[in-house]
Structure 1
Amino acid sequence: MGTDTTKIVIDFIARELPQSAWPHWTDGWAHEAEAAILDAAFSARAAYGTPTTGVRAVITRWRHHRQSDAPLDNLSTLAAFAERGDELAVILGNRQRVPGNYSTKAEAAALGAASLVAVGCTGSADIGNTDAHRAAIMSVPGFGARTFDMLLFLSGTLTPDSVELLTRFATEAAGSAEPLGGVEATSLLAAVAAELDVPATTLTHAAWRYQRTAEQPRRPAKSDPVPAM
């Protein structure tokens, strides 16, 4: 694709997910499974916040608690709080609850970590797009398929579904009447990242989050009429 298309996508980004306002211009949490599962838990139905608020503040507090310069990639450390959810919520400074109000997000993250450890996952390198790992996450009340998809993506795994999501983003951003192919979309996003002077992983994260949010069914507002039964 040419420079004109690259410019069209850059203009789309400036309009729809500007770097100054869209909070997801980060690299995600590749090689940091603890951070990835915390993000997947705490970003559900919540404002993502800034580097010092919201989800990233939760991860910063956990990093401080761990008192280690090493990557947050030992799921056993979170799993140790599976029966101490209230204590973990205090450490993380956040008592938000999962969809369905089953538990705090802190407790759910710890339970998810424990479930992954039980099927042999110790860190990000072990997490894969497998039925066992999906079932482990979805066994936690309040976690679902979207939680697992988020965990995979944040851990650095691009599944075919994620590639298709990014391809749909590139197609929309380019204003293309025909769907782009996966290779074409990847090349386009790489060119855009270079023009924006950001790592390709950062643009991929921002674009994936944008498209995922855009395609999420809208929840009825409190003022919306209740359908007749």
Structure 2
Amino acid sequence: MTAQQIRALARHIDTALPGDRSRLPSGWPHEAEAALLDAIFSARATYGTPTSGVRRVVANWRAHRASDLDDLTALEAFTDAPDHLAEILDNRQRVPGNYTTKAEAAALAAAALADVGIAGSGQLGDGRTAQEALYSVPGLGGATWETFVLQLGLIGPAALDTMRGFVAEALGPAESPVTEAHALHLLAAAAETENIPPAALLNAAWRHGRTRAIAPKPLSA
């Protein structure tokens, strides 16, 4: 890791990510409910500001709960009343594939996780059981899972590869292939240089990669 590489990554951050640092949330450590809502409602949606988009959904739920957000059974309780949950969250967007509203998917995912003994952030274990539970809900898949665990402070393989790609994009093709470990070290150094909380930068790099992945591809000739 060199000073030149850190400067290149800092320039890429300034270009690729929002200039308003308030738009770079640091995730929801120890708050499984918030992490799950974030993962589901951020799919194919504008993330927004602290008072709009996904964070507004989480804020609406926090106001309803008036407590810590680390008990998925609170969301599970709405499996038979998804419209009421949508009213509380003030959001009726639907999941990719149009299977259900995102509110209903959140309740179903919370129920699936709680059914396998995962009701809070400290019960994920190695993640495999939780991943299978989340995948059982129509419209939820790999990106939802990776976002969910990243909001809790864990980095899944797809998110890690996206962060590696973000750093490789910053350094350019002249650099040697960027390893995952090297990418994380550079991101940590750039976060300090740019005065960004490290978790916020990791989240932003992941969201940047997701946005690029779902952008319409140009038609070939």
Please confirm whether the aligned pair reaches a TM-score higher than 0.5, indicating the same fold: yes
Output the amino acid matched with 2:75.
L
* Deviating more after overlay: 200-209 vs 32-41: 200-209
- Say whether 1:80 aligns with 2:64: no
Matches within 5 A, 1:50-89: 50-68=49-67, 70=68, 72-89=69-86
Counterpart secondary structure, 1:147:
helix
Deviation track 1:108-152 (CA, whole Å, cap 9, x = no partner) reads 101100000000101112125543222211111211222112212
Query: 2:35 maps to what in 1?
Result: 36
Query: 1:5 maps to what in 2?
Result: 5
Shift of 1:183: 2.5
Shift of 1:22: 8.8
Q: CA RMSD in A?
A: 2.1
Q: Distance in 2 between matches of 1:20 and 1:146?
A: 25
Q: TM-score, normalised on structure 2?
A: 0.91
Report the CA distance shift for 1:145/1:129 in structure 2 as closer, same or farther (over 3 A): farther
Output the amino acid matched with 2:15.
R
Shift of 1:106: 0.5
Shift of 1:208: 1.8
Output the amino acid matched with 2:44.
R
Q: Distance in 2 between matches of 1:166 and 1:22?
A: 20
Kindly indicate whether the alpha-carbon contact (under 8 Å) linking 1:168 and 1:179 is maintained by their aligned counterparts in 2: no
Counterpart secondary structure, 1:49:
coil
Q: Distance in 2 between matches of 1:88 and 1:38?
A: 12
Shift of 1:79: 0.7
| Runs of 4+ more than 4 Å apart | none
Aligned residues: 219
- Say whether 1:171 aligns with 2:168: yes
Q: TM-score, normalised on structure 1?
A: 0.88
* One of 209, 212, 219 as aligned partner of 1:211: 209
Q: Gapped runs of 5+ residues in structure 2?
A: none
* Deviating more after overlay: 166-175 vs 79-88: 166-175
Shift of 1:38: 0.5
Using the aligned pairs only, state the percent identity. 45
Q: Distance in 2 between matches of 1:46 and 1:79?
A: 23
Q: Distance in 2 between matches of 1:220 and 1:161?
A: 20
* One of 109, 112, 117 as aligned partner of 2:114: 117
Shift of 1:182: 2.4
